[in-house]
Amino acid sequence: MTTENTSEPEYNKGTDKDDDINVELAINDRAEAIVFHDKPFAKTLSWLEFDLDSNKLDFIMNDGDVRNFGIPVHPDLASYMQNAFQVLMVLADGGTGEPEKGDYFPLIIHRA
């Protein structure tokens, strides 16, 4: 019998329970951040914010609403996020994972 340690967050992934959207963050060594999501957001996304203290990526909608979820970014990837200035948001097919469309959004880096 194995037990799973659930006290540690699942890094680089998040779920918006209100909109039933799954999101996943990928970052390459050139500090290019990509967020894949499997459904469109109910509200229009305006920008993203990354907090250097909490290592959390949040989504800010055009009405100023911060989505009630964020992506906990693995500490090893935080240095890459510090150098990013935009995020490519890619809508991917929920069944196949194939990209359907993508747009760039500004990324604001801050400390709490």
pLDDT of res. 9:
61
DSSP assignment string, 52-88: TTTTEEEEEETTSPEEEEEEEPPHHHHHHHHT--EEE
The reply to whether 8 falls in a domain is no
Percentage of residues of the chain with pLDDT beyond 70: 83
Give yes or no for a contact between 70 and 56, defined as CB atoms under 8 angstroms apart. yes
Nearest to 53 by CA among 26, 73, 35: 73
The reply to whether 12 falls in a domain is no
The reply to whether 81 falls in a domain is yes
Q: How many domains does the chain have?
A: 1
Q: What is the pLDDT of residues 5-54, one digit of tens each?
A: 445 567 777 766 666 788 899 988 788 999 999 988 888 899 999 999 99
Mean pLDDT of the chain: 83
The reply to whether 14 falls in a domain is no
Amino acid at 7: S
What's the burial of 111, exposed, middle or buried (CB within 10 Å: 0-12/13-18/19+)? exposed
pLDDT of res. 33:
93
pTM: predicted TM-score of the whole model, two decimal places:
0.81
Which range of residues forms the domain containing residue 83?
23-110
